[in-house]
Structure 1
Amino acid sequence: MTELEKLQAHKRFVFNDPEIMNIKRHAAHLAQQFNQISEEEPEKQAAMARQILGAAGDDLTIHHGFNFDNGKNIKVGDHFVADYNVTIEDTAEVTIGNNVYIGPNVGIYTMNMLGTAGARRRHEARVKPVTIGNDVWICGHATIRPGVKIGDNAIVAAGAVVVHDVPSNTMVAGVPAEVVQPLSKGNLN
């Protein structure tokens, strides 16, 4: 298997492989183009974002400072907002539902370096997809780690580091993030 095939199969791979690095460089070029569009041209931003993302629903808003590793591995639903300086490290798939708001300076990551010194010297890593449900609010400066699933109607508090799945209808906070409050499943209006 090539290193890219290993990555796509979610197996251990060498992250600085030339084929993988070319994808990352192309994504960096697209991010640079996107981030040069004026905030006074939201329609242009949305059109460029649709070229970058793997899929996007209706009503798409992404602000300046958007960074990613592939772009095509990101799929977002309807009524999606990413505030300033959001990084979605989409070496693996990142699937985001409808009515999701991501606050400023949030990082969503799918790649982990391996824990041994030898693996790090060999530039080996592994990826795990991230899934975010519907009606989710991720507050500023939160970090979502590889493999995390966030349930519907969840809130991730500012500065939280999410290392485990987040149940639906809960608020998580802290480092590492823990459930701090149940949320009503009632009327979403």
Structure 2
Amino acid sequence: MAVKKLSVSDEEYKQIDKVNAENQMTLQQLNNRVNDPDQTRRLLNKIIGQPVDQSVEVRLPFYTDYGRRIIFGKNIFVNSGVMFTDLGGIVIEDDVLIGPGASLISVNHPQDPNNRHGLELSPVYVHQNAWIGAKAVILPGVSVGKNAIVAAGAVVTHNVPDNTIVAGVPAKVIKTVE
């Protein structure tokens, strides 16, 4: 996957703050009020800028740094305290489970100190029926395969093959799912 680079002088970089400010207000409404399921879904729709299917359940609090580059499939369960750093794009396919406190990160910063405040964007994909364990961290550009399991606390730095279980820091394949 290609990495998209943004400099602080790029027009797109400047537009990010505008969307971010809008979404931060909506996130506060979502996370700091008592909302019924319909209100929660309306606020999520506003944050991500598209309808969230009725089969998607998101436990609060829900965190995102941007919001507009999250794509949810159907029959997804996102537990409480999950962080979506989505400026680079995060795609969650159908039937995915995401444990509490997990982080899906699609943004990095350049190693070059002169460009450190710039952004490097690389999407994250979580494919059908995958399970991301509690407090797992999925780093930019990673694809978690179909039916794969990411163990609790794992830090995933490379793609996870279909039908495997990964664990550790950095995560490594420990087993095949049958």
Give the TM-score normalised by structure 1. 0.84
Q: 1: distance between equivalents of 2:16 and 2:44?
A: 21
Q: Kindly state the Cα deviation for residue 68 of structure 1 after the two structures are TM-superposed.
A: 1.0
Say whether 1:171 aligns with 2:176.
no
For 1:93-142, what per-residue CA distance to the aligned partner results, in whole angstroms no more than 9, with x for missing partners? 1111101111111111111111122221xx11210011110101111100
C-alpha distance in 1, partners of 2:96/2:155? 18
Supply the AA of the counterpart residue of 1:33.
Answer: Q
2:141 is aligned, of 118, 142, 147, to: 147
Residue type of the partner of 1:117?
P
The CA distance in 1 between the partners of 2:55 and 2:9, in whole Å, is 34
* Residue 47, structure 1, aligned to residue 42, structure 2: yes
Contact 2:166 2:174 in 1 (8 A): yes
> 2:118 pairs with 106, 124, 132, which one?
124
Cα offset, 1:37, TM superposition: 3.8
Question: 50, 61, 66: which one pairs with 1:65?
Answer: 61
Separation in structure 2 between the aligned mates of residue 25 and residue 145 of structure 1, nearest angstrom? 24
| Secondary structure of 1:11 counterpart | strand
Backbone CA RMSD of aligned residues: 1.9
Q: Secondary structure at the match of 1:95?
A: strand
> Compared with structure 1, are the counterparts of its residues 30 and 47 closer, same or farther at alpha carbon in structure 2 (3 Å cutoff)?
same
Unpaired stretches in structure 1, ≥5 consecutive residues: 1-8, 185-189
State percent identity of aligned pairs: 32
Inter-CA distance 151–55: structure 2 relative to 1 (3 Å threshold)? farther
Query: Does the Cα contact within 8 Å between 2:73 and 2:93 map onto a contact in 1?
Result: yes
Contact 1:92 1:110 in 2 (8 A): yes
Q: Which of 107, 120, 128 does residue 103 from structure 2 map onto? A: 107
1:12 matched to 2:10? The reply is no
Q: Which consecutive unaligned segments of at least 5 residues does structure 2 have?
A: none
Report the counterpart of residue 31 of structure 1 in structure 2: 27
TM-score normalised per structure 2: 0.89
Q: In the alignment, what sits opposite 2:18?
A: 22
Deviation track 1:37-75 (CA, whole Å, cap 9, x = no partner) reads: 426x23322232223224533411111121112222111
